[in-house]
Amino acid sequence: MPWEADAAPHFEAVTVPGVLLVGNPLGDPTERRVAVFTPEKTSAGAGLITVYYLPGFGGSSESFLGAGGEAFARVLQGLAEEGLPVRMVVLDCRNRWGGSQYLNSAAQGNYADYVLEEVIPFLEARLGAPASERERLVAGHSSGGFGALRLAMLKPGVFGGVVALSPDTDFEVTHRELLAQWAKNVSVRQLEAYKAPRERCIMPSSGAVGLALGLSAAYAPKGEGAPGDFEWIYDANGKWRREVWERWLDQDPVVLARRNPKVFGGAQKVYLDGPEQDDFGAQKGARALWQVISAHTDSVFFEPRGGHSDYLIQRFARGVEWVFGRELRRIP
């Protein structure tokens, strides 16, 4: 669906039915829109490089539709004009809490399956598939960077490359101290109100508490016998629950890579970044992951200037350039 020659580069909406989200325990919407950018002067199924982009916690495709996506679209069109035509697909995997971490969980629904088994086949049947798996990438920022890493680990044959920008990883370093600030003082009564059925639930006034709830739902569900429910990281007396934390660590890309340094497929390329002044210390986790996988995986770590979300579009483009062996742009 290339845009008209007299129009500014932009994303267009495609509706995905969301069959694999039907019956999700939080009652979240199933039918959702993805945002699709196709470079000008390319046919609909021209074997384009396709990048599935996963926004950070609370983000979605909706912010890329209309004026919000124009800056990204201009950079993508520039890549095409330099001989690197990229179709970009931005997903919507939000839930009640703001984000699903792109994982399957009995506390939220099966978002990994939704991406891998519904969104990708649905869109590529409609728009055309890339020429090979090597030209299908998964990318993301922050929680989306985590999702990109985890989906690539789960299905290494699907994606030829990963671009993970400030990803959530190495939780002992990047998450534990923040959780103490965000979650320790949530009372039992508050937690019950937050986890109540949709018609009765109360959303926290603190975005940080909402993030802690979302991460808990993704990483520590109580199981199929308690749909929509999850374990909290502190007990009623404010004591750290190590057994729950271990379940978080079971999803940590650094922990998974230490258990299996070949966790990425042999042909996958992995681009990791984290800015020097990242607000959440994501550069520490990204660097640690690269150090674990670099002996077995074609990978790189880049530490630009700035904070967690600074220069995000340029950082994304640089990652794609690296995967395909192009000259790398400078980040201001």
* Separation of alpha carbons 144 and 164, rounded Å: 8
Residues 195 and 208 in one domain: yes
Residues 35 and 160 in one domain: yes
Q: What is the residue type of 228? A: G
Residues 231 and 268 in one domain: no
Long-range contacts: 229-233, Cβ < 8 Å, 24+? Answer: 229/107, 229/195, 230/105, 230/107, 230/195, 232/183, 232/186, 232/191, 233/179, 233/183
Number of domains in the chain: 2
1 in any annotated domain: no
Residues 146 and 218 in one domain: no
Residues 34 and 117 in one domain: yes
Lookup result for tokens 């629904």: 109
297 in any annotated domain: yes
2 in any annotated domain: no
pTM for this structure?
0.95
Residues 91 and 221 in one domain: no
- Which residue range forms the structural domain that includes residue 265? 12-170+254-323
330 in any annotated domain: no
Q: 104-105 and 109-110: which strand pairing?
A: antiparallel
Residues 316 and 224 in one domain: no
Residues 186 and 146 in one domain: no
Residues 123 and 111 in one domain: yes
Residues 158 and 230 in one domain: no
pLDDT in tens, the chain (332 residues): 554 545 689 999 999 999 999 999 999 999 999 999 999 876 554 568 999 999 999 999 999 998 889 999 999 999 999 999 999 999 999 999 999 999 999 999 999 999 999 999 999 999 999 989 999 999 999 999 999 999 999 999 999 999 999 999 999 999 999 998 889 889 999 999 999 998 899 999 999 999 999 999 999 999 999 999 999 999 999 999 999 999 999 999 999 999 999 999 889 999 999 999 999 999 999 999 999 999 999 999 999 999 999 999 999 999 999 999 999 999 97
